[in-house]
């Protein structure tokens, strides 16, 4: 079966712009989480969604937002981009109410570079 | 904030040797998971050990969990060059909902 699909794979944006990243989970998976990975901070938790509801949110400013659709696909948006937002953004899906039961399947990520 | 912390940060070994990585965490957990990441790509789930389990095996992987010390170890036996990757432990804290929180990882380099 198809894995977790993230689009686009690479993205270059200018400071001040906004960006939308997309994630399609494995078919049947209803839980989607987002992570930001940087060399300095490592993997930082952004959000977790289950059945279109945000269940958890990490410690990120309000410029970072997300949503999940009825087909479990998810998007995250970053407004007013800053240089420090340059990172690998990873999406992960899980079968049911969270990775604590089943573990996550990750996508290959979107590499965002802010210039 | 990081829940888990891996040790060592980096490890270099020869093919055929065993590699041991350790993870310490801060609060009580439901389970602990180990993941592998190859060169900036997505993470791959390796093994999950529940808080009431002490040891688990999967192929060449052996994971132990000591809840009294709040620590876990991942042993990779007979390492191969293909095991070169970063390894992360991840936990779900009992009092923090269902968000999976990762440590900063151990970078393993296996040379042939």
| Mean pLDDT estimate for chain B | 91
- Structure confidence at residue A89 (pLDDT): 98
CA distance B104 to B69: 19
- Structure confidence at residue B29 (pLDDT): 85
Q: Which of A32, A86, A87, A100 to mutate to test the interface with B (most CBs of B within 10 A)?
A: A100
Q: Are A93 and A26 in contact (CB under 8 A)?
A: yes
Among A21-35, B54-68, B98-112, the least confident range: B98-112
Distance from CA of A79 to the nearest CA of B (A): 23
Of B2, B45, B96, the CB nearest to A104: B45
For range B6-20, the mean pLDDT: 95
Contact pairs from chain A to chain B, CB under 8 Å: 70
ω into B8 cis (within 30 of 0): yes
Q: What is the pLDDT of residues B27-78, one digit of tens each?
A: 888 889 999 999 878 899 999 999 999 999 999 999 999 999 999 999 999 9
Q: What is the pLDDT of residues A32-62, one digit of tens each?
A: 999 999 998 999 999 999 989 998 889 999 9
């Amino acid at each position: 079966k198809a894995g977790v699909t993230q689009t686009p794979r690479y993205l270059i944006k200018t400071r001040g712009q906004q960006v939308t990243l997309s994630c399609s989970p494995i078919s049947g998976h209803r839980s989607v989480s987002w992570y930001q990975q940087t060399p300095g901070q490592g993997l930082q938790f952004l959000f977790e969604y289950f059945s279109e509801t945000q269940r958890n949110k990490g410690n990120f400013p309000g410029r970072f937002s997300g949503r999940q659709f009825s087909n479990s696909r998810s998007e995250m948006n970053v407004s007013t981009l800053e240089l420090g937002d340059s990172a690998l953004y990873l999406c992960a899906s899980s079968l049911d109410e969270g990775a604590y039961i089943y573990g996550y399947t990750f996508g290959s990520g979107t590499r965002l570079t802010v210039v | 904030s990081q829940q888990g912390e891996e040790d060592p940060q980096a490890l270099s070994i020869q093919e055929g040797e065993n590699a041991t990585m350790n993870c310490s965490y801060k609060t009580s957990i439901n389970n602990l998971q180990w993941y592998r990441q190859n060169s900036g790509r997505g993470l791959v789930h390796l093994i999950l050990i529940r808080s009431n389990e002490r040891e688990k095996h999967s192929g060449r992987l052996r994971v132990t969990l000591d809840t009294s010390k709040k620590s876990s170890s991942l042993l990779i036996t007979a390492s191969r060059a293909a095991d070169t990757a970063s390894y992360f432990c991840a936990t779900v804290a009992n009092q923090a909902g269902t968000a999976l929180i990762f440590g900063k990882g151990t970078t393993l380099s296996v040379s042939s």
